[in-house]
Structures are given as C-alpha cells and as structure tokens.
Structure 1
C-alpha cells in the first residue's frame, strides 16, 4: 500500500477514501453507507474524559441524527477490545448505550488517508476531526477540535441540516441558520437584476422561507 503520509489532506468536494475495518458493530466498509449521510468522527483515545463526554452526548442524540437519515461512525487508534471495554464503562457509568460503530485504526492508515494527522505525526494525540460525507461519498464539510475542547452536538446537527437543505443549490444557509428559519436566495448572475429598481442589495442578498418542513431540529 502507498505511504499515506504523502497524501494531501482532503478538501471539501473530494470523494472520501474507502476503507474496511473492524468495529464494535462487526466488520464495516465505507461503501455500506452510500445512499445516506455519514458523519465520521475521530477521537485521540478511549477512556479520555472529553471523548467520553462526546460519546455519551452523541449516543443520546442518535435518534436526532437518524431522523436526518445520517449514520454515525467513530474512529480511534485503540483496539477493538479497548472500544468494547470503553462502551461497557459508558453503559455502567452513564446508562447510555453506544449503538453506532467505533472502528479501530491501530496503524493510523485511515487517519492518514483522511488527513487527520500531520505527515510527520506518529501517534493520534491530536486527532479530533469530524467529516460530513454525503450519500454519494463526497466530503461536504469538516471540523477539527483540540483535545481539550469537546464538540457541540447541536452544532453538528445544525451543520448537517444546513448541508442537506442547500445541497440542491436553490438556497444558502446564513449565519446561525436553523431548520425552519429563513434562508438566503442564491445570488443573481446577470447585471439586469442588479440594475433593477428594487433594493440595491436584493440581487445578491434576499431571504426566502424554509419550506423543507424540517423544523424539528429548530
């Protein structure tokens, strides 16, 4: 296999690399998730406090992601057995069942393929990355966090809903947009609209209602 350290980082719009791996839900392949959205998120290690808080929150919100037809998949360098022991601890301590797969990546092969690590990195101490992958296997958004700061589950859901709403190109999601709130119209690309007697900014900035009927995440 080619040296993953020489691969450039993934960019929005790239087709994400396929992989097969062992997981807490059995063997998984990325191809299994074609046809629906997938959020692939990494964590530096099992049995760490910030990661534990994230997995409790994500597992508790799994039905909200499911309602948006989105699967969740965790990843770390820890072994499958460490993942299983950690899930058991989460169940015993918090009463929360982690039902989404957590895959093992002991050789850092997947982390390097996705650009989660710098080319010279030899451990996963800094890995906390999130990848929003559309039903066609295309990367639509990414987010990276330091090991000291946990993700916002509400923000993950907001980004996912926004990506789904603007995917057809008919609208844009403004700052702080939530499902059910007004969207922005895609700007006109002809000078006639800019010179019309309407408001001088209307050709590039005007709102439209969100008629998608997805106000449940509001």
Structure 2
C-alpha cells in the first residue's frame, strides 16, 4: 500500500518481532502508536536513533504512545543489535530494549507501506528501507507520516513535539503555530466564530491586526 494517506486505517499486519509474533492493531490496543523504520541492523545512524528512542521511552509512555521499530533483518539479528544499542546508551548490553523491532527480512512490509529508498542500496543492490515515521491514533488511523532518506537521522525531540500537538488538537478546537511547544499559545481554528471562541476559551482570545484587515490570526492560552 504505497499510497498510505493521512486518515487511512493503518494496515493490521502480522509480523515477527523481537517479542514474538504480533498483529499490529492488537499490539496497539487503545493506545497511540509510533512506528519508525530503519535501513538495516548494525548500521551507524540507525544505532544512534534506536538509542535515542530508548532514552525517550518514558516520554512516549507518558503520552500513551506505544513504540515499535522496523528493520530489514531477522528478529535474531535485531536482538543481537539491541545489545549494541543499549551499550551505546551506556545502559549495558544486558539491559532490554524498551520496545520491539519488527523483522522484515523479506521486505514485504516495507513494500506494502511504501518505505523503500530507491537511491540507497545494500551490497547486493537491493533498496534499503527509508527512515519512515508513522504516528497512528487510537482509532487505528494514520495521523502523521514523515519520510527521511536513509542517510539522514531523525530528531526524536521533534517527534515528541508533534505527538503533543496531535494529541492536543484531537481534543481541543485549536491548531498549533510554527515552532509551538507545550505551554505556548495556540491558535483558534478558523471554523469557530468569534462568539464560539470566546465561549470556548475562558482565558480569552487575542487577535493580531494585519494589513489585510482580516482577523484570522486568533490566539488563546490553554
């Protein structure tokens, strides 16, 4: 399913992982989920990413987000690689990785989800998996996707920030402006009238004056 779009129900795939066989929707339960893919085990950028994800696992848990990674090697390779990842974090090779890794050695899931990077290939000339991020809501629908090439590592602090925005805007009639962080002012969505906004946001609504005279930049503090 290369054309997975925002709002689509995420495929309920079955896969072998480092914690055994899973069915994806059952794995998520009623939680939010984040699936992040990796080009290959025992590669430098991927190791730093998995290590950072492990460091932040409590932050994802706090937000009710289940984490799962994917790489195009076997579950056994993943388990051995996990030791390197935790040693990189100075947690010791025997510390368990706090989330599972999906085995996709036949690249079936990578093809289904449109995750192959045509420009980056392994020694056999096979395309590597790109660095995809999928955030899935409790309704099992795709809420966010980011696609990086295999050569560019991700920023996991940004992934937490966008999850904070997704969860906030799913609950409140607001949008988050550029560079927003939790605690910053948010924007009132355009579909709310001024009267509705005033009733909905007791802390008040401020409108920025613009040369156009249009009052569409409306802010509130939650």
- Report the TM-score when normalising by structure 2: 0.81
- CA-based RMSD of the aligned residues comes to 2.4
Gaps of 5+ in 1: 1-6, 211-218
Distance 1:156 1:61 in 2: 11
| Aligned match for 2:38, one of 32, 43, 48 | 43
**1:85-142 per-position Cα deviation (integer Å, ceiling 9, x unaligned):** 10122233433342100010122221122121379x9844242100010011100111
- In 2 relative to 1, CA 190–45 (structure 1 residues): closer, same or farther, beyond 3 Å? same
Counterparts of 1:56-95 in structure 2, within 5 Å, are 56-95=51-90
Counterparts of 1:6-155 in structure 2, within 5 Å, are 7-32=1-26, 33-96=28-91, 97=95, 98-117=97-116, 123-155=126-158
Secondary structure at the aligned position of 2:128 is classed as coil
Deviates more, 1:162-171 or 1:183-192: 183-192
Distance 2:166 2:101 in 1: 24
- In 2 relative to 1, CA 205–108 (structure 1 residues): closer, same or farther, beyond 3 Å? same
- In 2 relative to 1, CA 134–166 (structure 1 residues): closer, same or farther, beyond 3 Å? same
Secondary structure at the aligned position of 1:137 is classed as coil
Task: Answer yes or no: is the 8 Å Cα contact 1:127–1:147 preserved in 2.
Answer: yes
Distance 1:65 1:191 in 2: 35
**1:9-29 per-position Cα deviation (integer Å, ceiling 9, x unaligned):** 201111111111111122222
Distance 1:64 1:191 in 2: 36
Report the count of equivalent residues. Answer: 198
Task: Answer yes or no: is the 8 Å Cα contact 1:16–1:114 preserved in 2.
Answer: no
More strand by share: 2
Distance 1:59 1:188 in 2: 40
- In 2 relative to 1, CA 124–103 (structure 1 residues): closer, same or farther, beyond 3 Å? farther
